[in-house]
Amino acid sequence: MTLLTTWPESGPETVLRRTADPAEIAEALKPLGVRYEQWPVREDVPSDAGSEAVFAAYGPEIDRLNAEEGFTTVDVLGLHPGDDPEYPVKAKAAREKFLQEHTHDDDDEVRFFVSGSGIFYLHVNGEVHAVFCEKGDLLGVPRGTTHWFDMGTKPSFTAIRFFHEEDGWIGTFTGSAIAARFPDYDTVAAGYATDKAGA
């Protein structure tokens, strides 16, 4: 349900690791302090479900994670093409914001994908780890970890967000243009889809 690709920070010409095995992904991310796990997928939850339906479906998992990690705020963020005439503007603005390399000084970035997909790029110890997350995947990026997120040119996802701080998402941007040197969501997703079709 996910894919991990690791490159040296110098660029994507050399692939250091590429795996779609969940156990291997969790093991590779663990030394970075990154939490990766898979939750049961609730197929009866619509891809564009609102907060109430999502909380009802994933209540036990949310309660467990809150008990383990002490989160104080949990919300649901969704972005889907549809009848909203503002979608193109909203999608472009959201993508541009998260696509810039940044850190979070006061909180972890923890997301569970209810539907859709997105890629977290972790820039750690001279390497870039691209974690392609799909529905059922939970990823926890520790505070202080340099990273960026790409949802693609036509984002379509619903995610549960977990926060220790009530202020929610606050990013400290590095000003680096590193994200432009690596394959974006659309490129990675197209290659991943081809791989799955041939499997």
CATH of the domain at 63: 2.60.120.10
pLDDT at 29: 98
pLDDT at 197: 65
104 among annotated binding-site residues: yes
pLDDT at 169: 73
The Cα 113–Cα 115 span in angstroms is 5
pLDDT at 199: 56
pLDDT at 6: 98
80 among annotated binding-site residues: no
| pTM, two decimal places | 0.93
Q: Which of 176, 188, 177 is nearest to 15 (CA)?
A: 188
Which mean pLDDT values do the consecutive 10-residue runs of the chain (199 residues) have? 93 97 97 97 92 97 96 92 87 92 91 97 98 97 96 95 80 91 96 71
b/e per residue, 89-103, with b = 16+ CB within 10 A? eebeeebeebbbbbb
pLDDT at 74: 95
Domain that holds residue 35: 2-198
Say which residues have a Cβ less than 8 Å from residue 80's Cβ, sequence separation at least 6: 47, 48, 87, 116, 155, 156, 157, 158
147 among annotated binding-site residues: yes
pLDDT at 84: 82
43 among annotated binding-site residues: no
Tell me 142's DSSP state.
Answer: P
Domain count, the chain: 1
